[in-house]
Structure 1
């Protein structure tokens, strides 16, 4: 009886099962320039052929050997989840039982127009993309992509990432049902930061001196960026790169339905605000006459008080104003900019979409 009462007193949130499934079928995902298929152990040597770990310290802040080791681990975890093995049984277990999904990035592009695919020697594999640290309890996951040295800066990541995020955010069973997707980027990797911002990510925090910049022999910050399910717009994120939505991809129909619902809510709220504004104007008109008389009376009283004010009162007012200004660590003209910088450092609140739409 006690157990039943305790269960009933739990918040509705806590009663919902938040465990990830014991096994998963990793779906293929189609893009315009690439397509994604579940990664295999056989794909790992291809990353070495592609020189995919070149410049890792600039891109992720880790040395090439560490990056290579991590990616091998992620692929093993991904295959273990496909096989229905628990994290501890994968050979590369995680005490927090986090899961990973790994896709091989495949293309048949022929940029040099020699009549054969550029990546024919690696079975058209040009890299991998991952959802890592998938946390069922918090409904959070991290996204990362690695591409061969010769396949960077050609738009492949911009084609793949929004489609993986759409799957990650889509409700189960069509997607993973994540609430948050995040990335971690070295502060010097301004190119990736720009791409992530175009995808809808915003800075949410900074780990100071978290990485070693070998090229410049100094520490650098690690920037954490994220986006939430109610902020992410799959159409806008693809439009930013001139890509198109592919409706047969996993999670797309759910994302479109959620988007339509969100647009309808905004339109309804706007209509209610307009209606309330009209009502306020009507009631305001009725009060204009009495308000005008009251304003005149206040002005007369203020003028009388001003003419009777002593020199001592004026001196006290000046002293208080000076003290108020001296307590602020920045100049008067810097207040707005300084507050904005403080806000960027500590992260933004949930209502971030208002700012991004400006």
Structure 2
């Protein structure tokens, strides 16, 4: 039996605005719809390369299997973002790319149209980052955000992420190039 990792526990984190709960296979279709029904999510996450494009379709059974594997994975934490007002799943937060020797990992998130503009993304980010740094004992959490997504960068800065560098011309989009900002937050 493999030893437990900090990612083995799949907590439910509750805030005033959102609840973050472990994903299940049943969430796959919901989260896919959040991305497909909101072109802004696909564009700002670099999932597409032209304004208005949709991400390539993913077989629903394959996507369900991916989420089922993430629900029990010991190398990542994938939590659904649930709006406490409506009980709707509006996005996800992920701690991944775990580096055990350096007690660090990556972070990614998306929140769809139904969850934007009310502080849900900020609270979701704060909850999962605090859990990673305080409860899981991580020292460093990193992320990448494209230069054409200043709203997300503002959220990350409010939570405590610091800009550490720029990857030039990291994304081809609408016949041009977009830089990516590299950010990190440190714990104990």
For residues 147 and 68 of structure 1, the distance between their equivalents in structure 2, rounded to whole angstroms, comes to: 19
Query: Once the two structures are superposed, what CA deviation does each residue of 1:59-90 show, in whole Å capped at 9, x if it has no partner?
Result: 22232526979xx58734422326xxxxxxxx
For residues 193 and 129 of structure 1, do their structure 2 counterparts lie closer, same or farther at Cα, with a shift above 3 Å needed?
Answer: same
For residues 75 and 168 of structure 1, the distance between their equivalents in structure 2, rounded to whole angstroms, comes to: 20
3-state SS of the aligned residue for 2:55? helix
Give 1 or 2 for the bigger CA radius of gyration: 1
Alpha-carbon contact 1:134-1:142 (below 8 Å) kept? yes
Alpha-carbon offset, residue 102 of structure 1: 0.7
Moved over 4 A (4+): 66-69
Alpha-carbon contact 1:158-1:195 (below 8 Å) kept? yes
Which residue of 1 is the match for residue 15 of structure 2?
Answer: 31
For residues 229 and 129 of structure 1, do their structure 2 counterparts lie closer, same or farther at Cα, with a shift above 3 Å needed?
Answer: same
Alpha-carbon offset, residue 58 of structure 1: 3.6
Q: Please tell me whether residue 141 in structure 1 is matched to residue 115 in structure 2.
A: no
Which 5+ residue runs of structure 1 have no aligned equivalent? 1-18, 83-98, 110-116, 231-358
Task: Pick from 55, 59, 62 the counterpart of residue 47 of structure 2.
Answer: 62
Alpha-carbon offset, residue 204 of structure 1: 0.9
Which residue of 2 is the match for residue 212 of structure 1?
Answer: 172
Which residue of 2 is the match for residue 106 of structure 1?
Answer: 82
Query: Once the two structures are superposed, what CA deviation does each residue of 1:38-75 show, in whole Å capped at 9, x if it has no partner?
Result: 00111111123334652245422232526979xx5873
3-state SS of the aligned residue for 1:178? coil
For residues 22 and 220 of structure 1, do their structure 2 counterparts lie closer, same or farther at Cα, with a shift above 3 Å needed?
Answer: closer
Which is helix-richer, 1 or 2?
1
Which residue of 2 is the match for residue 200 of structure 1?
Answer: 160
For residues 226 and 23 of structure 1, the distance between their equivalents in structure 2, rounded to whole angstroms, comes to: 19
Task: Pick from 121, 129, 132 the counterpart of residue 157 of structure 1.
Answer: 121
3-state SS of the aligned residue for 1:55? helix
Query: Once the two structures are superposed, what CA deviation does each residue of 1:136-170 show, in whole Å capped at 9, x if it has no partner?
Result: 12211122222222322221011111111111012
Task: Pick from 65, 73, 80 the counterpart of residue 81 of structure 1.
Answer: 73
For residues 104 and 129 of structure 1, do their structure 2 counterparts lie closer, same or farther at Cα, with a shift above 3 Å needed?
Answer: same
Alpha-carbon contact 2:6-2:136 (below 8 Å) kept? no
For residues 164 and 7 of structure 2, the distance between their equivalents in structure 1, rounded to whole angstroms, comes to: 32
For residues 97 and 8 of structure 2, the distance between their equivalents in structure 1, rounded to whole angstroms, comes to: 15
Which is strand-richer, 1 or 2?
2
Q: Please tell me whether residue 49 in structure 1 is matched to residue 37 in structure 2.
A: no
User: How many corresponding residue pairs?
Assistant: 176
Alpha-carbon contact 1:105-1:129 (below 8 Å) kept? yes
Structure number with the bigger relative contact order (C-alpha 8 A, sep ≥ 6) is 2
Which residue of 2 is the match for residue 190 of structure 1?
Answer: 150
Which residue of 2 is the match for residue 92 of structure 1?
Answer: none
Alpha-carbon contact 2:83-2:115 (below 8 Å) kept? no
Q: Please tell me whether residue 168 in structure 1 is matched to residue 160 in structure 2.
A: no
For residues 79 and 146 of structure 1, do their structure 2 counterparts lie closer, same or farther at Cα, with a shift above 3 Å needed?
Answer: same
Which 5+ residue runs of structure 2 have no aligned equivalent? 49-53
Give the structure-1-normalised TM-score: 0.45
Alpha-carbon contact 1:140-1:181 (below 8 Å) kept? yes
Which residue of 1 is the match for residue 51 of structure 2?
Answer: none
For residues 209 and 23 of structure 1, the distance between their equivalents in structure 2, rounded to whole angstroms, comes to: 33
